Amino acid sequence: MPIATKGGVKALTIEDMQKLDPGILLSNTYHLMLRPGEKEIKKLGGLHNLMNWDKPILTDSGGFQVFSLAKIRKLNKEGVIFRSHLDGSEYRLTPEDAVRIQMAIGSDIMMVLDECVELPAKRDYLEKSIELTSYWAERCKKYFDIQSKKQKNNKAKKQRRALLFGIVQGGLEKDLRKKSADDLIKIGFDGYAIGGLAVGESEAEMIGALKYADELLPKDKPRYLMGVGYPHQIVEAVKNGVDMFDCVIPTREARHGRLYIWKKKTGLLKTKAKFYETINVKAQKLQFDKKPINKESQFPELRNHTRAYLRQLFINDDPTAQRLVTLNNLEFYLDLMKQIRSEIN
């Protein structure tokens, strides 16, 4: 899922996204609740209308950003009190608030409010954290069910039913992951996210946690690994039962001049060989490189412009460079998912 944090994918237009056709975008509840705000988005007809995007949108609960970006935060059973990273204004976010905001802006797939713990973490803290996450998840589900029933009964509002996902936490502790998963399965969600990974642990530890997460979660519900990752990590995660991904890597690294290119496009699920490379478009060695940016791309601008020209744009801070690399990287990631699906089928 490409990241449209504040209602847009940086450096690209919605027309670009329609050509890329990811089928779904991810937006950030925390940033949208601060600016432009829940009421303004609702008045504008919801996030889909604001963006002119008629396909699904998944929104996180805002919890991760509260814990990572907020200047000051206080955490208790009722929720979180925090100060905005923009202007220091105080906000209160309860589990019910998190769901209400996501429903108000018109999200199609919503996430429960949870606590994402940075690793490594002490076991006693992880135990308290998953108890809190399970308690918040139950409150989110209860509020979601009540509001969904009201919408269904309101015949004036003909809209598709949104989905709510629970988020499994527990760090690298298998028994705590099991407890968290069991709690959420008992509550019952439309899908299950695996949270609290790629937050300080090694890649091997992350893959190990995914192996036992695969054993814990229902086979008939989608599994969503939050915030991951590099292409080879996605392949390994799919091998361990993960269905959905989001990550800032393709767009953020594009803005820093890193281009993702295929080396080998088949047999991804059967080999450990490196199937992609990254190119630093600011590198001196590209100064006279007349190869196209990406000769295999569906986009004429990536086929017709040279890497030397891309480097020239980038070193001169031309915003066109960011657009071209972002376009390339998202195309690469979406092709990666298409290839994986074809190999599974």
- Asked if residue 7 belongs to a domain, the reply is no
Q: What is the DSSP string of 80-141?
A: EEEE-TTT--EEEE-HHHHHHHHHHHT-SEEE----PPPSS--HHHHHHHHHHHHHHHHHHH
Q: Which two tokens stand for residue 105?
A: 């802006």
The reply to whether 339 and 259 lie within a common domain is yes
Judge whether 108 counts as a catalytic residue.
no
Report which of 7, 61, 1 is spatially closest to residue 32, judged by C-alpha positions.
7
The reply to whether 218 and 301 lie within a common domain is no
pLDDT score of 272: 85
Q: Are the C-beta atoms of residues 173 and 205 closer than 8 Å to each other? A: no
The reply to whether 195 and 284 lie within a common domain is no
- Asked if residue 1 belongs to a domain, the reply is no
Amino acid at 102: Q
The reply to whether 232 and 259 lie within a common domain is no
pLDDT score of 156: 52
Q: Which of 145, 246, 289, 335 is catalytic?
A: 246
Q: Which two tokens stand for residue 112?
A: 């429960």
Asked which of 208, 227, 246 is the last residue of a domain, the reply is 246
User: Total domain count for the chain?
Assistant: 2
* Distance in angstroms (rounded) separating the CA atoms of residues 157 and 46: 13
The reply to whether 114 and 198 lie within a common domain is yes
Sign of the torsion angle spanned by Cα atoms 126, 127, 133, 134: positive
Element (H, E) at 144: helix 123-153
- Asked if residue 2 belongs to a domain, the reply is no
Q: Residue 190: exposed, middle, or buried by beta-carbon count in 10 A (0-12, 13-18, 19+)? A: middle
Q: Are the C-beta atoms of residues 103 and 113 closer than 8 Å to each other? A: no
* Distance in angstroms (rounded) separating the CA atoms of residues 86 and 300: 39
- For β-strands 79-83 and 73-76, DSSP reports them as antiparallel
Give the long-range contacts of residues 72-76, CB within 8 A, separation 24 or more.
75/115, 75/132
Element (H, E) at 224: strand 223-225
- Asked if residue 111 belongs to a domain, the reply is yes
Judge whether 246 counts as a catalytic residue.
yes
The reply to whether 264 and 296 lie within a common domain is yes
The reply to whether 73 and 161 lie within a common domain is yes
The reply to whether 178 and 278 lie within a common domain is no
The reply to whether 238 and 286 lie within a common domain is no
The reply to whether 220 and 263 lie within a common domain is no
Q: Which of 60, 97, 114, 183 is catalytic?
A: 60
Where on the phi/psi map is residue 106: left (φ > 0), alpha (ψ -120 to 50), or beta? left
pLDDT score of 158: 57
Residue 241 is part of a domain; what is its CATH number?
3.20.20.105
pTM of the model: 0.96
Q: What is the DSSP string of 159-201?
A: -PPPEEEEEE--TT-HHHHHHHHHHHHHH--SEEEE-S-SSSS
253-283 burial: b if 16+ Cβ within 10 Å, else e: bbbebbbbebeeeeebeeeeeebbeebebee
Asked which of 214, 246, 278 is the last residue of a domain, the reply is 246
Q: Give residue 46's domain range.
A: 14-246
The reply to whether 67 and 156 lie within a common domain is yes
Q: In what order do the strands lie in the sheet with 57-59?
A: 25-27, 57-59, 109-111, 163-168, 191-194, 223-225, 244-245
- Asked if residue 9 belongs to a domain, the reply is no
- Asked if residue 3 belongs to a domain, the reply is no
* Distance in angstroms (rounded) separating the CA atoms of residues 311 and 317: 10
Q: What are the average pLDDT values for consecutive 10-residue runs of the chain, which has 345 residues?
A: 97 98 96 95 96 97 83 90 91 96 97 92 95 97 95 69 96 97 98 94 95 95 97 97 97 98 95 94 98 98 98 98 98 98 93
The reply to whether 185 and 91 lie within a common domain is yes
Asked which of 215, 246, 277 is the last residue of a domain, the reply is 246
